[in-house]
Structure 1
Amino acid sequence: MNNLFSLYVLNKKQNNFLIFSSIIAVALLLIRVKITHSFYLLFLIWNLILAVIPYIISNFIKIDFSLKKYNFKNLFFIVSWLLFLPNTFYLITDFVHLNNTNLIQFCFDFILLLSFTIAGFYFGILSIFSIQQQIQFFYTSKTSYLFTISISYLCAFGIYIGRFLRFNSWDIISYPLFLAESTFNCLFENETWTFTLGLGTLISIANLLYIKSKSNI
């Protein structure tokens, strides 16, 4: 139980950094709007909001699959978390919008996109970490690490669906059959596996390094 309490305290402390990193990212974007008089990249704020959702949801999930505590409400939170979690790491793909020919503007936009990516990644890593710690408490460390790696690759696959197939989390309700068909078909594309394995490995490393750093404290 001490581990779960420590996790609760840790999450409270990390909230300040999450808020700070998000404010920095948004401030840089507003500076860009002020200087360039352009609303280009303003969509990053929406993408960051989507990254916040799974972090919030993860705080309501209780990983205890005993029949007495397993209920529809908890299942709803778990499914919602899985659907929105890829949004946290999705921000890294927004670097495709980095195409300004002006060197100074290019560097500024790079820093801007990097700030949003860091904020999004941190929301995702903390979200996964909170669930991983619960799994480790109720089951085993091996199971929790397997969960972390598996969810990392699932996120990468979800990002592929969002970036290249242009679906979003809401489409599972709006266009479930079309989404299912498109997802199934892309499983036979080499591009799908290359992207998923590459980005999934990056996300896995980021998550495992964070877990390792916290286990040494």
Structure 2
Amino acid sequence: MKTYSISTRKKQVFISLGLMSGMAVALFLFEAFFFHNIYLIGINWNLFLAWIPVFIVLYMEKLVSSNLNQPIKILGYSIVWLLFFPNAPYIITDLVHLYPYTNNGSSYWHHQIMIYTFAFVSLICGLLSLYWIQKIWTACFSQALSRVFTFTSIALSGYGVFLGRIERFNSWDFFIHPMPLAKYVLHSFSNPTAILITFEFATFIGLAYCMLYSLIHLNDQ
């Protein structure tokens, strides 16, 4: 059995993500202590949720490194990963919270950079986890299946953002309120807003992933 270890390059990525996450939290703490405002405290929880897909993929990589013949486990963890993946791009929609500060001078710009920082690091966490899980699927199944899974994940994440921001469902509802969630999903296929938001966010996430993928392979011959 091979011993799993995180590569030096991946450690550097985690350090960068950790520093950016630290900056985001520091900006919130600055607002909380100096402006006595914790209106956006929930964005810290959203950042934590955005990290969950990364941790799931790390565990999946550990499984794969020990034994490639674990397709059932990989499928199971992939489903759990998919439930949390939309939390990463979801934070982009937290820009809606800028509205109360529009005419508030420097406070507006502080909130803008704070939310941008949370949204950026969360999106990168999600896209990197998608890249790594695609590699896992290629190793465990096939390149064709990994591409199908990637495309499906991107499409479903767009729908997940709609469910989270517009309908206020979250990842936990899959476990806590499965029937109301399933009932709404079945009725939402004829909802023009659901179709539009899903398409727009899925397109954005897909193109962002293409950019990340291209940058990762920039020096490939």
Fold conserved between structures, TM > 0.5 = yes
Aligned residue in 2 for 1:69: 70
Contact 2:68–2:140 (8 Å) recurs in 1: no
Aligned residue in 1 for 2:23: 24
Aligned residue in 2 for 1:187: 189
**Inter-partner Cα distance in structure 2 for 1:130 and 1:45:** 24
Map of 1:103-122 to 2, 5 A cutoff? 103-122=105-124
Aligned residue in 2 for 1:157: 159
Map of 1:44-123 to 2, 5 A cutoff? 44-61=43-60, 68-71=69-72, 73-99=73-99, 100=101, 101-123=103-125
**Inter-partner Cα distance in structure 2 for 1:212 and 1:196:** 24
Contact 1:148–1:204 (8 Å) recurs in 2: no
Aligned residue in 2 for 1:200: 202
Contact 1:48–1:88 (8 Å) recurs in 2: yes
Q: CA RMSD in A?
A: 2.4
**Count of residue pairs the alignment pairs up:** 211
> What is the deviation of 1:146?
4.3
> What is the deviation of 1:149?
3.1
Q: Which runs of 5+ in 1 are unaligned?
A: none
Contact 2:50–2:87 (8 Å) recurs in 1: yes
Indicate the percent of aligned positions where both proteins have the same amino acid: 30
| Aligned residue type for 1:24 | M
> What is the deviation of 1:11?
2.5
Contact 2:98–2:108 (8 Å) recurs in 1: yes
> What is the deviation of 1:58?
1.1
**Aligned partner of residue 154 in structure 1, secondary structure:** helix
Write out per-residue CA displacement over residues 153-182 of structure 1, whole angstroms, 9 at most, x where no aligned residue.
Answer: 211101111111111111111111110001
> What is the deviation of 1:150?
2.7
**Inter-partner Cα distance in structure 2 for 1:67 and 1:57:** 17
Q: TM-score, normalised by structure 2?
A: 0.86
